[in-house]
Amino acid sequence: MTKTHPIPPAKQDRVVIFDTTLRDGEQSPGATMSHEEKLEIAAMLDEMGVDIIEAGFPIASEGDFNAVAEISKRSKNSVICGLSRANFKDIDRCWEAVKHAAKPRIHTFIGTSPLHRAIPNLDMDQMAERIHDTVTHARNLCADVQWSPMDATRTEHDYLCRTVEIAIKAGATTINIPDTVGYTAPRESAALIRMLLERVPGADEIIFATHCHNDLGMATANSLAAVEAGARQIECTINGLGERAGNTALEEVVMALKVRNDIMPYTTGVDTTKIMNISRRVAAVSGFPVQFNKAIVGKNAFAHESGIHQDGMLKNAETFEIMRPEDVGLAATSLVMGKHSGRAALRSKLRDLGVEMADNQLADVFVRFKELADRKKEVYDDDLLALVRVTEDATPDFLILKDLRVVCGTGGQSADMVMTVEGVEKTASTTGDGPVDAAFNAVKQIFPHEARLELYQVSAVTEGTDAQATVSVRLNEAGRIVTGSNADTDTVVASVKAYIHALNRLLVRRGKVGAGADAREINYKDAG
C-alpha cells in the first residue's frame, strides 16, 4: 500500500469537488477529446482548484490509459482518479495509470440494482463477495479507494446498506451514491444519504459522494440536497457535459454554494473566476456549444433586455443580478481592439480574458486577428476568443481548403472549390440544395468518404451582420464520432472549414495521420 489518504474526512463545511468531465463527460456522443485536449483540460481543472479529477477509464483503450497516466504525472494539486469495473484486471490497469500521481485514487464500481445485477448474472451473495474482493484488492494497491454502487437510487435499501457496509469494511475511503439514470428527486436524494449515515456501521468515518444525472432536470438540486443531508463530495462536469441530458454542472453547484452560503454554509476550493474560461474551452474541444440560457456560463446569463430590468441594472446591479459577471471570470464586452492594435495590446487583452499564449501561438492568433480586423469594423472579446479556439483546435492538415467560390440565388446554388489532399491540389464544381450543401458536396467529391453528418450547428459569436459565425459539425463513420469547429465572418467558409476540421480529426482517429488515435476498444457503462 502506498501513500496516505490525500483528502481527510471533510470538515462539516467543506465540500469536495470531483470533476469527471474527462471520463463521464466524454461519454456524450461526439464529445471524445484528443490526447492533448485532455491534458489541457486537466491542467485547467488542476489550476482552478478542483479537488479530484477523474481522468478516464484506463482499460477502455490505450489512448485512455496514456491520457490518465500523463495527467497523473503532470498533476500538481488535484487527486487523479481512474475508473475501473469490479474485476482485478480493470483495477490493476487503473493503478498502473494513476500510480504516477502524487495523490492517486482508484474508483471501482458495480451495478447493484435488480436490473444491473442481472447483467453479470450474479445473485446478491455473489455480488457481495465480488464487492469485498475487488475493493480489498484496490485498497491493497492504493490508500485512496472510491466505490460506487451503480444505479444506487433504484437499489433496494437493505441491499444498498449491506453493500456499502462491505465496501467500507474492505477499505473504501469514499462511497459514491450514483443516480445513474437521473431518476431521483431532491427529497429522495437527501433521504438516501441520511439513511446510509444512520444505518451503515462506519459511515461516519468515510466521505459520501453524490453523482447525479440530469434526465429530469434536477441534477444540481439533487446534488445540493445530498450535501445538506451529509454528503461531502459532489461529482460533476464542466457545462454539465455528459451522456443523455448530462451530469451535474460544476459551475452550478459551486456558484450555488457561494451565492447562497447563507442557507447552505459549505465551501469549496474552486477559484470561480476561472469558470468561464474553462467552460468555453470545454465547449470548443467537445463540440458541444453552451446553450444561451444556461445557468452561470450561458451567453444570456448576465444579459438584460427588458426595459425595466435594464433601468434597474443601471441604477443598481444587484436589483437583477445575484452575482457579478467577474465572479465567474466574465469580462465586459468591449470595442477597444481594432486593425491598428499591436501584438502587445493583443497579448494584454487576451490575458485579461484569462488566456495565456506562447509566442508562436500568439503569432498565429495575431495574423488571424489582423485579417479579421480588416473585414470587421468592431472586434469584440468574444471574437478574440473565437480566434483563439480556431488556433488551439488545429489538427494535422491532411486536407486544406485553398479556395471556395459559391453562387447562390433563386436560380440554384453551386460551389467551385480548390482543396489540397496530402499536398496535392484538387478541384470540384458541384451543386446543392443551398450554398452549404453545395460546398459540402464539393468536399465529398474531392475527398470521398462514408462519414454521416450528424450535427450541423451555426451560432453568431457577436452581434451585427459582420459577426463571425461559429460552426460545429459532427461526423460519424462506423462508430467513430468526431466534431469539428471553425469561425469566420463568412458562414459558408466557416462551415466548410469546420467540416474539413472534422474530417482531419477523423483521419487521426483512423490512424491515417498524426498520433493519439483513441477509439474505444470496449463498451462500458458509466459509474453514475
Q: Residues marked as binding for Mn(2+)?
A: 24, 211, 213, 247
Q: Residues marked as binding?
A: 24, 211, 213, 247
- Contacts by residues 341-348 (CB-CB < 8 Å, ≥ 24 positions apart): 341/369, 341/373, 346/384
Distance of CA 396 to the CA centre of its chain: 23
Q: Across the strands, what pairs with 483?
A: 474
Count of CB atoms situated within 10 Å of the CB of 98: 28
* Ordered alpha helix ranges (H), 234-330: 250-259, 275-286, 307-315
State how far the Cα of 299 lies from the Cα of 305, in Å rounded to an integer. Answer: 13
Residues comprising the chain, all counted: 528
Pairing of strands 452-460, 424-432: unpaired
Tell me if residue 290 falls in helix, strand or coil.
coil
- Give the position of cell 474539413: 500
Decide: 503 and 443 in contact? Cβ < 8 Å: yes
Decide: 408 and 437 in contact? Cβ < 8 Å: no
State how far the Cα of 83 lies from the Cα of 93, in Å rounded to an integer. Answer: 10
Pairing of strands 104-111, 145-150: parallel
Tell me if residue 171 falls in helix, strand or coil.
coil
Closest Cα to residue 242, out of 28, 3, 504, 62? 28
DSSP one-letter code for 489: S
Q: Cell digits for 317?
A: 446591479
State how far the Cα of 1 lies from the Cα of 280, in Å rounded to an integer. Answer: 40
Closest Cα to residue 124, out of 116, 491, 472? 116
Question: Rounded to the nearest 5°, which phi and psi values hold at 234?
Answer: -110, 125
What angle do the packed helices 491-510 and 435-446 form, to 10 degrees?
30
Sheet hosting strand 452-460, strand order edge to edge: 452-460, 469-477, 480-488
DSSP letters, 319-330, are GT-SS-GGGGTP
Pairing of strands 16-19, 52-56: parallel
State how far the Cα of 121 lies from the Cα of 127, in Å rounded to an integer. Answer: 9
Distance of CA 100 to the CA centre of its chain: 23
